[in-house]
Amino acid sequence: MARLTFRCCLLLTSLCLPLPAAADERIPHAQDRPPGPALAPQDAIARMTVPPGFSVELIAAEPDVVNPTAMTIDERGRYWITESLEYPRRSPGPGKDRVRVLEDTDGDGRTDQTTVFMEGLNIPSGIAVGHGGVWVANAPDLLFVQDTDGDGKADSQEVVVTGFGRDDTHELPNSLTWGPDGWLYGLNGVFNPSHIRYGPSNPNFKADSEGWKFTCAMFRIHPATREFQVFCEGTSNPWGIAFDDAGEAFVSACVIDHLWHLTETGYYHRQGGPYPPFTWKIESIVQHRHQKAAYCGIHWYDSDAYPEPFRRKLYMGNIHGGCINSDRVIPQGATYRGEPENDLLTANDAWFMPVVQKTGPDGCLCILDWYDRYHCYQDANRDPGGIDRLRGRLYRIRYQNTPHSRPFNLATETDQSLLEMLSSPNGFRRDTAQRLLSERLLQNRSPQLQHSLHRLVTDNPQRETRLRCLGILGVAGMLEEPLLLTLLQDSEPIVRARSIRAARELRTPSPELLTAALERSSDAAHSVRLQTVITAARQPAAAAMPVLVSVLAQADDDPLTPRIVWKHLQPLLEQQAALFVAEVRRQNPAGKGIPASVLQLLPRIAERVLAAATPDNASLAALLDLLLLDPTSSTAADQCLQLLLSRLRSGETTAAAAENLGQLLRQPLQKAVTENSPVAVSALQLLVATQSADATKLARQKFEQATDPELRLQLLDAFIIARTPDAEKLARSLIESNPQPELLRKIILATGRIRTPEASRLLLEKTPTLPPDVRPAAIEILTDQLPSSIQLMELVREGKVEPGNINSNQARKMLLFKDQSLMDLVTRHWGSVRTERDPARQELIARMRNELLVARGNPVAGKAVFAKVCGQCHKMYGEGADVGPDITRNGRASFEQLLSNVFDPSLVIGAAYQAQTIVTTNGQIITGLPVEDNDQRVVLKIQGNRTETVPRSDIEQQVTSPLSLMPEGLEKQLQPSELHDLFAWLTLDKPHTDPNARFLPGARIEPGKARKTADYPQFVEQLLPGFSVESSGEGGIELLENHFGRPALRTHPPDKNRPCRLSATMQLPVAAKIKLRISVASHQQGDWQLDVKINGQQRHKSIIRPNQNPRWKDLEIDLSDLSGQKMSIDLFNTPNDWSNEFGFWNAAEVVSE
């Protein structure tokens, strides 16, 4: 069931960003209060604040632009804008969306001519002009569209590539942007799985092509050859690409950190979903946050229309914050560090949605505003009638009297004029000149233009101009090797780096050129060495390995280069481990010591060698031998040994392989133990795990004598891996040693790996008395197997374990065993289990909203409840488990969002948060979120902060659930007081100990009275958003925190002959069932008459009495006959006998199915 809320005027559609949806929109997601009515364009500008000397001007507004999603500016200064009335429609196919062209023909700064270039689109989310046509992202396709007859209308289109997903229509392909290399770049979001193939007319089309599968990624397309490439992967819902003066790519993203520097072949942190095997993810470049975490658009600004302090900055649209944020970037190794600057603009208007920022023809920053009350897709999906499809604005942020552009057409300029324009102080002109020159060189292959570009590359004093010329020559395929050989020796590091990149992109680079490029691996500049790594990755292993090892050794504290090295080194280790060890020895002879950056990577290398189809144990042993003999490398050595243990623990390394490895390592391991080196404990663990009798005897002595519980746990772990017969007895002794809860949880998890009847009996015995925040870990283990599941449910039957200790996921998992006796126990003593989302959760949310708005819990106690329940999967303020999203900043933008996420977690689920269930060949059932899923293994994050690795060969069945891993039914697990305490903790935006902590928007009713009609909205909107009250007697209206257990809006008829009227207008969705739900009550000593009129027709009449039971009357009125129609609603508080005729209103909402 989708729930819609009333709005005061006819409303129509919206754009947004990720998080599960709420049930009844009181305040839109991530907003602090109801947004209020839309402002006229000039009124909106009047509210905006900008730095001194700046002003905001209107370029265009509705009806000339509505629901804008993307924008580009062509060589005539015309604004090409995509508009979407279809959002958030998921289905592909023709739609009502369009591309509109706006033009300022008289140079006054306002557009005065508009043309619809193309119609029939379906959420066009990206646009670029160039190379003879218009490029439009219109998922599933990326189109190249032309106007062949010059009438300003599209009449020819080509599907360049196809296969972009539409699972999540706020994460569609977007931000089509011409890169410094002349390719067209774009982005795709994390919850929008795509499988890209060439269109049939693309010259690269092959019917049997595997194509490219990805979710969040940056891609690029060559404008002439139509070649498609995935440039890099990761982030969340990136929307906006900016290239700085050096040609480096920056993107903005939502929910996670907002600013990312993207490098070719990199794999970046993901908001959700599994990573490819052996990924070492790259992180964002910021440690700070601006107002809120929803960004759209980013632009590198460097034009002389603004004074110097505002140039060479990144400007980003902050949708929830209603601002244009600014960051500066500072080089750090081969990447950057972002630092905050002051905001360029603050809208002071909740409707402001800055989706695109670009330098305009006059050099000023232009802001495209999808002006809407709803920012997020949850609101759009729930209340399509509340979306405003009729507004949109385009602004200019002008400094002082910067002149407006007069009409122009750069396409008519000569080659020489465009070459000079590459050094223009106006960023728009620089970018446009580069694109036009690229088009001309590709089309005409002019030797004269080629010569001029060669001369500028070598002789121009401006670095940026040289780089632009290099990009023009490269995209046209007219870069000559002698020029590149010269540029490889250039004094500018970024020129050397870009030359290496250009060299590898030649169709057939000569061995001489490649050798010269790879020789820059010892260059003084991080950026140059990074490009040698990416180039080396395309060469045979013998040529690549020396470069990878050398660059890694020089990485120092560079946060990016080691990760790119690893990306290209790890595939080689499948068969070339010996080559790597030999190269490390060659570059680091005895006595020299292994560089710290190489040491940092060795544990990953050890794991990768072990994961090979045929592990090279000899090379691994040689590598570990190097580490064990080097006293400075003990940390890396210890990490390597622990990795070996983890693979033995998971079964990924077989017993035979382990025994062989143990024999190869026995001597250095025994030496480490004997000499009590820093790795002595790990060495002893590995010796025990590989069946060394002497080591087992020594370990048992240490276990009995040790007083350190952590050491005893490490030794127990080794005994469990070695399958020591009395491991269960050793585990019992640890459990009964009264350890601290966190250590006890680790012991429980270790005991769960013993997998014997005795170990199960031990867990069953201890479960009822375990601390509340440890018990879930034991129950998760016990529900993995059939015998222990039956015994656990017997404990529930006997009253020794509360049914609420078992969540719905665990109950669902037990039913998968298909054992009739277990199924009967679950049904009788736990309850029925749903296999799909329960639509009645919406009604529960309404009830919980009322209860929690009235309740006053204790946040200190709530923190303990969080640790017991939520903290098994989520972190908050750094505490808890890393299974689901960290909810410090995610999922709690408002009270409504929090209610939905907690009580209806399966309403909207990204693919990354769908639970996966694995049935193993030995009958174990495991449910969790995928971290890795590949040909070798599946790694799941399990409730209780446990990671379970299952070799692919051990998997009998793997199923993806349509439900969230977060179970429904929290209200059944907790007592009401615990629930109140939990929400007292969750609804604070900061820890309760922080004096600046405030409640989330909507989490508290702000009671008060209003006598003047003008003051009514601030109170009405809190409970009945979208309604207006004309007049109310007896002192006006009053908002109450608690009236018979619910918050309420109190009204009264103005006099005995006139009712108090509450009214709203909305557009109903098309749906099979639509109901109006109203909750009303009376004064305890009076009654009144409720009248409901829809479109002026009476639909309901009843007396609301003080003695009714329950005191609140919840009504449903069928509106299915009005599906898809505009509707006016009038609710009347009508007098009845004129005695305390107060009307109390708790809710008025429309529900559709």
For 169-203, what is each residue's pLDDT tens digit? Answer: 889 999 999 999 999 999 999 999 999 999 999 99
Question: Among the listed ranges 745-749, 858-862, 1148-1152, which one has the minimum average pLDDT value?
Answer: 1148-1152
SS3 695: helix
Confidence of residue 767 (pLDDT cuts 50, 70, 90): very high
What pLDDT score does 1118 carry? 93
Across the range 982-986, mean pLDDT stands at: 88
What pLDDT score does 37 carry? 86
Single out the residue of 390, 352, 356 nearest to residue 373, CA to CA.
352
Contact 535, 504 (CB under 8 A): yes
- Please tell me the distance from the alpha carbon of residue 1093 to that of residue 1082, in angstroms, as a whole number: 20
What pLDDT score does 6 carry? 30
Helix (H) or strand (E) holding 681: helix 680-689
| Structural domain count, the chain | 4
- DSSP codes, 298-346: EEEE--TTS-GGGSSEEEEEETTTTEEEEEEEEEETTEEEEEEEEEEEE
Residue 2 lies in a domain: no
Residue 192 lies in a domain: yes
User: Is 17's pLDDT higher than 60?
Assistant: no
Residue 689 lies in a domain: no
* Strand 184-188, strand 141-146: pairing: unpaired
The residue behind tokens 């329950």 is: 1110
Residue 995 burial (CB count, 10 A): 5
What pLDDT score does 15 carry? 28
Same domain, 540 and 469: no
Which of 502, 535, 569 is the endpoint of a domain? 569
> Is the peptide bond preceding residue 140 cis, with omega within 30 degrees of 0?
yes
The structure tokens listed for 647 are 């693979």
187 forms beta bridges with: 174, 218
Supply the Cα-derived Rg of the chain in whole angstroms.
Answer: 33
Contact 559, 518 (CB under 8 A): no
Same domain, 495 and 471: no
Confidence of residue 993 (pLDDT cuts 50, 70, 90): confident
Question: Among the listed ranges 46-55, 902-911, 1023-1032, which one has the minimum average pLDDT value?
Answer: 902-911
- Please tell me the distance from the alpha carbon of residue 816 to that of residue 775, in angstroms, as a whole number: 22
Same domain, 261 and 124: yes
Across the range 1111-1138, mean pLDDT stands at: 91
Across the range 767-784, mean pLDDT stands at: 93
For 409-421, what is each residue's pLDDT tens digit? Answer: 999 999 999 999 9
Question: Among the listed ranges 429-433, 588-592, 744-748, which one has the minimum average pLDDT value?
Answer: 588-592
- Please tell me the distance from the alpha carbon of residue 962 to that of residue 942, in angstroms, as a whole number: 17
The structure tokens listed for 559 are 């946060």
Contact 304, 270 (CB under 8 A): no
- DSSP codes, 775-813: HHHHHHHHTTSHHHHHHHHHHHHTTSS-GGGS-HHHHHH
Amino acid at 372: D
For 643-657, what is each residue's pLDDT tens digit? Answer: 999 989 988 887 788
Give strand ranges (E) for 165-216: 174-178, 184-188, 194-198, 212-214
For 654-707, what is each residue's pLDDT tens digit? Answer: 778 888 888 888 998 999 999 999 999 999 999 999 989 999 999 999 999 999
- Please tell me the distance from the alpha carbon of residue 551 to that of residue 929, in angstroms, as a whole number: 36
Confidence of residue 2 (pLDDT cuts 50, 70, 90): very low
DSSP state of 407: P
What pLDDT score does 386 carry? 66
What pLDDT score does 378 carry? 62
What pLDDT score does 591 carry? 66
What pLDDT score does 25 carry? 37
Same domain, 381 and 426: no
Helix (H) or strand (E) holding 867: helix 859-868
Residue 243 burial (CB count, 10 A): 18
User: Is 21's pLDDT higher than 60?
Assistant: no
- The torsion angles phi and psi of 947, rounded to 5 degrees, stand at -110, 125
Contact 178, 184 (CB under 8 A): yes
Same domain, 339 and 465: no
For 1090-1123, what is each residue's pLDDT tens digit? Answer: 999 999 999 999 999 998 889 999 999 999 999 8
Residue 681 lies in a domain: no
What pLDDT score does 22 carry? 32
Residue 688 lies in a domain: no
Burial class for 1035, CB neighbours closer than 10 Å (0-12, 13-18, 19+): exposed
Confidence of residue 947 (pLDDT cuts 50, 70, 90): confident
* Strand 68-73, strand 54-61: pairing: unpaired
Contact 116, 108 (CB under 8 A): no
Which of 553, 569, 585 is the endpoint of a domain? 569
What pLDDT score does 658 carry? 80
The verdict on pTM exceeding 0.75 is: yes
Which of 531, 554, 569 is the endpoint of a domain? 569
What pLDDT score does 1021 carry? 82
Same domain, 390 and 534: no
Mark out the alpha helices in 94-182 (DSSP H runs).
Answer: none
- How remote is the C-alpha of 1116 from its chain's centroid? 38
What pLDDT score does 837 carry? 62
Same domain, 234 and 292: yes
The structure tokens listed for 4 are 């819609």
Mark out the alpha helices in 505-558 (DSSP H runs).
Answer: 511-518, 526-536, 541-553
Contact 388, 38 (CB under 8 A): yes
> Is the peptide bond preceding residue 88 cis, with omega within 30 degrees of 0?
yes
Helix, strand, coil abundance in the chain, percent, nearest 5 = 35, 25, 40
Dihedral angle over CA of 1145, 1146, 1148, 1149, nearest 10: 180
User: Is 907's pLDDT higher than 70?
Assistant: no
Question: Among the listed ranges 25-34, 38-47, 593-602, which one has the minimum average pLDDT value?
Answer: 25-34
Confidence of residue 384 (pLDDT cuts 50, 70, 90): low
What pLDDT score does 383 carry? 63
For 738-776, b/e burial (b = at least 16 CB within 10 A) is: ebeeebbbbbbbbbbbbbeeebbebbbebbeebeebbbb
| Half-sphere exposure at residue 467, Cβ-oriented, CA atoms within 13 angstroms | 23
Burial class for 590, CB neighbours closer than 10 Å (0-12, 13-18, 19+): exposed
Which CATH number do you get for residue 324?
2.120.10.30
- Please tell me the distance from the alpha carbon of residue 689 to that of residue 696, in angstroms, as a whole number: 9
Residue 855 lies in a domain: no
DSSP state of 1058: B
> Which range is most confident: 403-417, 615-629, 981-995?
403-417
| Half-sphere exposure at residue 127, Cβ-oriented, CA atoms within 13 angstroms | 30
> How far are the Cα atoms of 624, 630, 637, 684 from residue 679, in angstroms, in the given order?
12, 12, 7, 9
Single out the residue of 810, 1083, 780 nearest to residue 947, CA to CA.
780
Confidence of residue 859 (pLDDT cuts 50, 70, 90): confident
Decide which of 13 and 626 is more confident.
626
Across the range 584-612, mean pLDDT stands at: 89
Contact 501, 487 (CB under 8 A): no
User: Is 5's pLDDT higher than 70?
Assistant: no
Residue 116 lies in a domain: yes
Which CATH number do you get for residue 1108?
2.60.120.260
User: Is 19's pLDDT higher than 60?
Assistant: no
> How far are the Cα atoms of 117, 158, 171, 677, 821 from residue 155, in angstroms, in the given order?
9, 11, 28, 76, 68
- Please tell me the distance from the alpha carbon of residue 521 to that of residue 524, in angstroms, as a whole number: 9
Contact 138, 121 (CB under 8 A): yes
Same domain, 137 and 260: yes
Helix (H) or strand (E) holding 358: strand 354-359
Question: Among the listed ranges 538-547, 619-628, 941-950, which one has the minimum average pLDDT value?
Answer: 941-950
The structure tokens listed for 991 are 């820890």
DSSP state of 704: H
- DSSP codes, 725-753: TTHHHHHHHHHTT---HHHHHHHHHHHHT
Mean pLDDT, the chain, whole residue set? 90
What pLDDT score does 663 carry? 86
For 816-853, what is each residue's pLDDT tens digit? Answer: 899 999 999 999 998 877 766 666 677 787 788 888 88
> How far are the Cα atoms of 182, 457, 480, 492, 749 from residue 487, in angstroms, in the given order?
19, 9, 11, 9, 58
- DSSP codes, 607-676: HHHHTSSS--HHHHHHHHHHHHH-GGGHHHHHHHHHHHHHHHHHTSS-HHHHHHHHHHHHHHHHHHHHTT
Single out the residue of 751, 720, 757 nearest to residue 735, CA to CA.
751
Mark out the alpha helices in 374-525 (DSSP H runs).
Answer: 377-382, 415-421, 427-444, 447-459, 463-475, 481-487, 493-504, 511-518
What pLDDT score does 202 carry? 97
Same domain, 467 and 505: no
Contact 956, 920 (CB under 8 A): yes
Decide which of 273 and 347 is more confident.
347
Same domain, 461 and 521: no
Same domain, 460 and 535: no
- Please tell me the distance from the alpha carbon of residue 905 to that of residue 900, in angstroms, as a whole number: 7
The structure tokens listed for 489 are 């020796």
Same domain, 384 and 499: no
Amino acid at 547: V
What pLDDT score does 499 carry? 98
What pLDDT score does 513 carry? 98
Residue 816 lies in a domain: no
SS3 1021: helix
User: Is 26's pLDDT higher than 50?
Assistant: no
SS3 895: helix
The structure tokens listed for 516 are 């010269």
Confidence of residue 1153 (pLDDT cuts 50, 70, 90): low
Give the residue numbers spanning the domain of 1129: 1008-1152
- Please tell me the distance from the alpha carbon of residue 123 to that of residue 101, in angstroms, as a whole number: 17
